[in-house]
Structure 1
Amino acid sequence: MATDVVYRCHGAAREVTGSCHQVECGSRSVLVDCGMFQGGPDAERANGEPFVFDPAHMDAVLLTHAHLDHCGRLPLLVRRGFRGRIYATSATIDLARIILLDAAGLQEEDARKARRSGRRRGAEDAKPLFTLDDVFRTMDFFSPVNYGRTIDVAPGLRARFLDAGHILGSASVILEVLGGEKRIEVLFSGDVGSPGHPLLRDATPAPPADYVVMETTYGDRSHRALEPSIAEFYEAVSTTLDRGGNVIIPTFALERAQEVLYFLKRGQENGNLPKRMSVFLDSPMAISATEIFRRHPECFGAPFLATLRDEDPFDMPGLHFTRDTADSMAINQIQGGAVIMAGSGMCTGGRVRHHLKHNLWREKCSVVFVGYAAEGTLARRIIDGTREVRIFDEPIQVRAATWTINGFSAHADQHALLDWLGPHRRRQVLLVHGEYDRGMRGMAEQLLARGIPHYIPALGQPVALHP
């Protein structure tokens, strides 16, 4: 191949969030994902920094899925000159629209509050990272793709999307770089889903490819099996309600909220949960995502699809959808007997922080974590056992019971990642999207034991890809 092919990781290099990967071949260049950094004191600064590449010279973006740490900087990319196409599945496009609009709305509101309060240095000039107008403009650049179909994304560059089983519409992407009679195939895992969950299909196993860029979120550990996790979830909810408290579930709007609703309904039907309990889905974004779920049967596994034809798997007695702020505030008057699901899942923002403020200090209550919490986030501090946190600049004692149920995780664990990677020979596996001393090193040890060449790239480091 006459022209060098180079890979660079511009986000999720030796950390979990900010996924952004670039492949260059001569004058051609594509991105896989362009996500936001989340958690930690430097995330806001990192998100606002200029891109180290010229967005105007980027041919295309291949978006694996709609989580904010994978799609959240797309409006910035467009604002700063990108004019190519953003390829994603139809379900991902629908979800990315509500995710990005929600993020823009929160940023605009935060900027207005900062200007009004004037507490921070330079607050009078506070601006959102991107605006609602930026999101609407970005949506014009999206092009839908189907699983399994090969598309041309630039001269000599072809891509194929495979079901990643992570959230609705999620994909792994295999990028084929052509040059004369030679070619290089680079497989990007995206986020690989945990197998055996009831709503979505399991991830399509990794096909042969020269290079694999693989996530390592849980590359060092195994999840608890799903059935014991469901039993533990029912125990957490039922014991809290029995002692007269509220259950707070910090919820990721995409997939996790829908799965929790599904299990709550099943718990009522099989007698593991009370027939009468108040369940609040206090997340406009999760409500919209639930509606989008019903529009994309192409993403579901056969058992759930059969259920969807016969009934509404997300509906149950006592379920309340709260979109309005006033209705959300009214929930905080409830002293016990409520299951409250609200975003964000890592407690970095959103309505869940209000519910934590009103319930975290109460011994009768419980906080149930059913997803990943990155280092530096409020959720991670609570999980790690801190006895006091600050919410809206107020000290709050942590007296509620805390439950961490990782069997619900939408990320594959170490065993499932290795199964997904499969027996194919690879030139190299590049490890990304994980905590360096945990997921990445844990997976590196497993690959070393299996004789699989691997590397952990640093941020922006060029890695030459050879045919």
Structure 2
Amino acid sequence: MQISFHGANRDVTGSCHLIECAGKKILIDCGLFQGGKELADENREPFGFDPASIDMMLLTHAHLDHCGRLPLLVKYGFKGEIITTAATKDLARLVLLDSAHLQEAEAKLREKQHQRHKSHKSHHEPPLYTLYEVTRCFDFFGRVAHYKKPLSISAGITATFFDAGHILGSASILLELKEAGQSCRIVFSGDLGSQGRKILRDPQIPPSADIAVIETTYGNRLHRSLRASVKEFYQAITETFQQGGNVVIPSFALERTQEILWYLREGIEKGKLPASMQVFLDSPMAISATEIFRQHPECFDEEAYDFLQHHRDPFAFNNLHITRDIVDSMAINRITSGAVIIAGSGMCNGGRIRHHLKHHLWRKNASIVFVGFAAKGTLARQIIDGEPTVRLLGEDIDVNAKVYTINGFSAHADQAELLSWLDQLKPTHTFLVHGEEEVMQDFAKKIRRLKTTLPIIPSRNQSVILTDLLK
């Protein structure tokens, strides 16, 4: 009975953990490494285990850093079953198809560059995976998990999914393991949501466990209050309009975009934002994700569910423009004032947001509003950290726009919420994953003060015998 770690170790992306028990190998998540080129190259390296040996894959949620290497897992031999919630299954399909499209587009661009610079002997890399390889991995999605309902994985292994409150369909997973007369209860937090959010319920806390594997994205800081964050958000829009500029919001397609649409609608209805304000949702993926949200009210909190029950759309309002077509997207940049432009991706490492930033970063009357986490090495992090000039679409662009970082919208639990979750779970040992190393070290100090659990910061490909921890 052992666990090994193959991603998101002293790093924020690439979540991937392996449980071995009773002759079975159970993988928890298989995410993409995201950030600079060095991290991107890690996606092409071996997993640290043989994909063909994996019997079962349990997926906590549909963010790319948790599901993005599933096509590679299948490509290199996985033939087991993928289990997740219904909403995660739908969102993962959307996310992986979008990822493959970007992979193929970037590969074509590299090929063109290679053709232009043959004399430099540049190396042309194929896409990490193709649309065909993504569609193949959908064949392996099997049973659908329901919150709080145990699933028999095999003799001696039971999995129970609990609502993690992070994005639609997200889950923490409790594994109950039995082998050779010994037993262990281990909980994987997945990504935990913050309390009191709109649309989704608060995270559920599984029953007590022996061992926890917990994300630490915001393990060293507290979020600003949601009320103060919404107030700042409205103020950023109002002040930018007064200066005659546009507001550009790099937003994650899943959850963050839907929450932003909720607050824009609410702001208009309460008279805190102008009813004439033009809002452009310029992200085909976010548009499709919003449609999926409407199909899964079983994941909503009481307020959002009530909206739908009374035939009201919580994500729609007058002057909201949905722009799927690239021509319509380009036309937005002819508008120089009075518009809110929401586009992906949240870390600005791809998608239409880069074109909008190119047209707005240099404008002194424009504002860029970041409403989520930005990993090291991303364009978003460069802008947030105050770089005066950034490289964007082959050009050096001066950063003259006003930059807002409103972390109260984060879909991740903050330090206090993570500690509270652990304190109620009461594991004897806690593995820290999915966070920057210095953040993990700070969080480990806080955990030690609880005096109820011992923090462990695993390294990549490290294996630990679980029963040794429980002696």
Asked if Structure 1 and Structure 2 have the same fold, meaning a TM-score greater than 0.5 normalized by the shorter chain, the answer is yes
For residues 86 and 122 of structure 1, the distance between their equivalents in structure 2, rounded to whole angstroms, comes to 41
Residue 28 of structure 1 contacts residue 155 of structure 1 at CA under 8 Å; is this kept in 2? no
Corresponding position of 1:37: 33
Q: 2:99 aligns with which of 103, 128, 152?
A: 103
Instruction: Please give the alpha-carbon distance, in whole angstroms, between the structure 2 residues aligned to 1:153 and 1:127.
Output: 36
In structure 2, the partner of 1:429 is 430
Deviates further, 92-101 or 151-160: 151-160
Output the amino acid matched with 2:27: L
Q: 1:314-369 deviations in whole A, cap 9, x for unaligned?
A: 11111011111111111111111110000000001110000000000000100000
Contact 1:149 1:160 in 2 (8 A): yes
Q: Which residue of 2 aligns with 1:149?
A: 149
Matched, 1:332 2:333: yes
Residues 150, 159 of structure 1: 8 Å contact kept: yes
* Deviation at residue 158 of structure 1 after TM alignment: 1.5
CA contact (8 A) 1:66 1:95 kept: yes
Instruction: Give the aligned residue type for 2:354.
Output: R
One-letter identity of the residue aligned with 1:239: E
| 8 Å CA contact retained: 1:219, 1:413 | yes
Deviations 1:236-295 (A, max 9, x none): 111111211111000100010000000001111111111101101100000000000011
Alpha-carbon distance in structure 2 between the residues aligned to 1:459 and 1:211: 19
Contact 2:53–2:78 (8 Å) recurs in 1: yes
Q: 1:37 to 1:130 in 2, by over 3 A?
A: same
In the alignment, which of 15, 19, 26 is matched to residue 19 of structure 1?
A: 15
Change (3 A) 1:40 1:124: closer
Displacement of 1:27: 3.3
One-letter code aligned to 1:133: Y
Is contact 2:4–2:18 with CA below 8 Å preserved after alignment?
yes
How many Å separate the matches in 1 of 2:160 and 2:361? 46
Q: Given that residues 250 and 353 in structure 2 are in contact (C-alpha distance below 8 angstroms), is that contact kept between their aligned partners in structure 1?
A: yes
Q: Which residue of 1 aligns with 2:88?
A: 92
Distance 1:122 1:302 in 2: 59
Q: How many residues align?
A: 462
Deviation at 1:124, TM superposition (A): 6.8
| Paired residues of 2:205 and 2:425 also in contact (CA < 8 A) | no
Tell me the equivalent position of 2:60.
Answer: 64
User: CA contact under 8 A between 1:115 and 1:124: conserved in structure 2?
Assistant: no
Shift of 1:427: 2.2
Aligned to 1:42, what secondary structure does the other structure show? helix
Preserved CA contact (<8 Å) 1:36 1:73: yes
Whether the aligned pair in 1 keeps the contact of 2:21 and 2:178 (CA below 8 Å) is no
State the Cα distance separating 1:26 from its structure 2 match.
5.6
Q: What's 2:126 paired with?
A: 127
- Displacement, 1:123? 5.6
Partner residue in 2 for 1:137: 136
TM-score by length of 1: 0.97
Say if 1:280 and 1:319, in contact at 8 Å, map to a contact too: yes
Shift of 1:442: 2.0
Stretches of structure 2 that go unaligned for 5 or more consecutive residues are none
Residue 444 of structure 2: aligned partner: 444
Secondary structure, in 3 states, of the residue corresponding to 1:11? Answer: coil
User: 1:217-256 residue pairs with structure 2 within 5 A?
Assistant: 217-256=217-256
Matched, 1:382 2:378: no
How far off is 1:44 after superposition? 1.7
Structure-2 change in CA distance of 1:225 and 1:139 (3 Å): same
C-alpha deviations, 1:166-219, integer Å up to 9, x for none? 000000001111124431111000000001011100000142111000000001
Tell me the TM-score normalized by structure 2. Answer: 0.96
- Cα separation, 2, equivalents of 1:242 and 1:97: 41
| Distance apart, 1:6 and its partner CA | 1.4
Distance 2:208 2:136 in 1: 37
Greater Cα offset, 338-347 or 134-143: 134-143
- Match in the other structure for 1:348: 349
Note if contact 2:208-2:424 (Cα within 8 Å) is conserved in structure 1: no
Trace 1:449-464 onto structure 2 (pairs within 5 A).
Answer: 449-451=449-451, 452-464=453-465
Match of 2:199 in 1: 199
Partners of 1:51 and 1:230 in 2: how far apart?
41
Partner of 1:229, secondary structure, is helix
Q: Please, which moves more after superposition, 344-353 or 173-182? A: 173-182
* Matching residue of 1:190: 190
Q: Which residue of 2 aligns with 1:318?
A: 319
Aligned partners of 1:49 and 1:78: how far apart in 2?
Answer: 15
Q: What is the CA–CA distance in structure 2 between the aligned matches of 1:37 and 1:125, rounded to whole Å?
A: 20
Report whether the alignment pairs 1:165 with 2:165. Answer: yes
Residues of 1 paired with 2:36 and 2:309: CA distance?
Answer: 43
TM-align CA RMSD: 1.3
Aligned twin of 2:71:
75
Q: Displacement of 1:125 after TM fit?
A: 4.0
Match runs of 1:49-60 below 5 Å: 49-60=45-56
Give the AA of the match of 1:332. Answer: N
Q: Name which of structure 1's ranges 171-180 and 394-403 shifts more when overlaid on structure 2.
A: 171-180
Residue 298 of structure 1: aligned partner: 298
The 1-side partners of 2:123 and 2:209 are apart by 51
SS of corresponding position for 1:423: helix
Structure 2 residue identity aligned to 1:56: A
Contact kept in structure 1, 2:5 and 2:17, CA below 8 Å: yes
Distance 2:318 2:121 in 1: 49
Q: Secondary structure at the match of 1:91?
A: helix
